[in-house]
């Protein structure tokens, strides 16, 4: 029994690794190395099953692999479309970065314009470059500015010289 399991280990390895590579290919753009390698490994695994157990068994294994891949790929894509698939893994740090309350600490900071503002441009606040919008009009380059309001991701500034 153990010798039969050891003898079929390369076959199982080819089939499983091939399926994993095909699933990885779903998330990569184009038809590249993981997809081709996955198809080749599944093909090699099916050929090994055919030589060891017969053609009918190989066809059955191929049909099972196609069905399992179809179910897995549809499940993974559905999870990704819902946005729940990787939220536990990747989004915890980002959730707190973009909150409105965090951006309110910028109000009152003074800096200078890096570009001409017509009314949007770039401001430098203690070495931090931010995309900003003026309250109303045009502000020349290298002019002192102050952050007066934050509306979501929009940072509103006014010229200090205009006061």
Give residue limits of the domains in the chain.
Answer: 2-90, 98-159
pLDDT of 80: 73
Mean pLDDT on 97-114: 76
**In this predicted model, what pLDDT tens digit does every residue of 53-95 receive, in sequence order?**
999 999 999 999 999 989 988 887 787 777 655 554 444 444 4
Residue in 55, 49, 47, 44 with CA at minimum distance from that of residue 18: 44
- pLDDT tens readout for residues 121-146: 899 988 888 889 998 788 888 889 99
Which residue from 77, 48, 78, 80 is spatially nearest to 61, judged by alpha carbons? 48
Closest CA to 121 of 148, 151, 155, 97: 155
Q: What is the per-residue pLDDT across 8-63, written as a single tens digit (0 to 9) for each?
A: 888 989 999 999 998 888 877 677 888 889 999 999 999 999 998 999 999 999 99
pLDDT of residue 101: 61
For residue 117, the 8-state DSSP code is B
Q: What share of the chain is helix, strand, coil (3-state, %, to 5)?
A: 55, 20, 25
- CB–CB of 133/155 below 8 Å? yes
The mean pLDDT value for 150-159 works out to 87
Using the 8-state DSSP alphabet, how is residue 28 labeled? S
pLDDT band at 96 (very low <50, low <70, confident <90, very high): very low
Q: How would you class 99 by CB atoms within 10 Å of its CB: exposed for 0-12, middle for 13-18, buried for 19 or more?
A: exposed
Q: With cut-offs at 50, 70 and 90, classify the pLDDT of residue 97.
A: very low
Helices and strands (H, E) in the chain, number of each type: 7, 5
Which pairing describes strands 154-159 and 144-151: parallel, antiparallel, or unpaired? antiparallel
CATH architecture assigned to 98-159: Beta Barrel (2.40)
Q: What is the pLDDT of residue 44?
A: 93
At CB < 8 A and 24+ separation, what contacts does 6-13 make? 7/52, 8/52, 10/48, 11/45, 11/48, 11/49, 11/52, 12/45
């Amino acid at each position: 029994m153990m010798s039969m399991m050891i003898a079929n280990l390369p076959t199982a390895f080819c089939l499983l690794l091939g399926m994993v590579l095909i699933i990885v290919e779903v998330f990569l753009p184009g038809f590249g190395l993981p997809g081709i390698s996955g198809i080749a490994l599944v093909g090699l695994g099916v050929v090994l099953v055919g030589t060891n157990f017969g053609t009918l068994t190989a066809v059955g294994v191929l049909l099972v692999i196609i069905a399992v891949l179809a179910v897995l790929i549809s499940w993974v894509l559905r999870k990704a479309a819902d946005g729940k698939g990787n939220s536990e893994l990747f989004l915890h740090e980002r959730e707190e970065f973009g909150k409105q309350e965090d951006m309110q600490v910028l109000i009152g900071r003074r800096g200078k314009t890096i570009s001409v503002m017509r009314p949007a441009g770039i401001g430098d606040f203690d070495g931090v470059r931010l995309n900003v919008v003026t309250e109303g009009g045009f502000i020349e380059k290298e002019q002192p500015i102050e952050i007066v309001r934050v509306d979501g991701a929009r940072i509103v500034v006014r010229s200090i010289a205009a006061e």
